[in-house]
Structure 1
Amino acid sequence: MLGIDCPKPCKGRWPTPPFDPRFPKQNQTRNCYQNFLDYYPCVKRTNRRGKSTQPCDDYFRVFRALCPLSWVQRWTEIKDGTFAGKI
């Protein structure tokens, strides 16, 4: 899958992402981007603490549901400090 795989085996369909009051408008581009940025630090923190990454799965599901796969692929390929967000 385009550079990013499911944290667990992907089974069935995922429900529509829940309403996020930080992004009340119809355009969900910022919601997609913010959940992408929140996912990786969450995984990094939980792995460092030796805990399960299950709480981070919500971020993953939301950005996979909202973001076009081409965006996700491009964001995961950008390296060497050129990416605008901190991962």
Structure 2
Amino acid sequence: MAEVEVDIGSIITVGDIKTAPADFRFPTTNQTRHCFTRYVEYHKCMTAKGADSGECNKFAKYYRSLCPGEWSLILAVGVVYLLTSGFK
């Protein structure tokens, strides 16, 4: 197997690493609700401002830093199900 040399500094810088800011609605609690709320905020922003808007990127970063990858997939499947089942 060939070895690949990667310069980590060229991929990510210290300024790029951020997580969701503290939220007074979730003080020292299980972060599941915080994850879900940030996910919903992201999709509300996308609906209100459109998929091409860059203003929603911060919400995407927030929920992606809080939610495990598997949860994001489960939430996405749930949203698609609700939208296709006529839920308003």
Q: TM-score, normalised by structure 1?
A: 0.65
Larger Rg: 2
List alignment gaps of at least 5 residues for structure 2: 1-10
Other-structure match for 2:49: 46
Q: Which has the higher contact order (CA 8 A, sep 6+)?
A: 1
| In structure 1, distance between residues paired with 2:77 and 2:67 | 15
| In structure 2, distance between residues paired with 1:23 and 1:73 | 23
1:42 partner amino acid: C
Aligned length: 71
Question: Percent identity among equivalent residues?
Answer: 27
Structure 1 consecutive aligned stretches of length 4 or more whose deviation exceeds 4 Å:
none
Aligned residue for 1:72, secondary structure, equals: helix
Larger helix proportion of the pair: 2
| In structure 1, distance between residues paired with 2:61 and 2:53 | 13
Whether contact under 8 Å (2:19, 2:61) holds in the other structure is no
| In structure 2, distance between residues paired with 1:36 and 1:64 | 8
1:58 partner amino acid: K
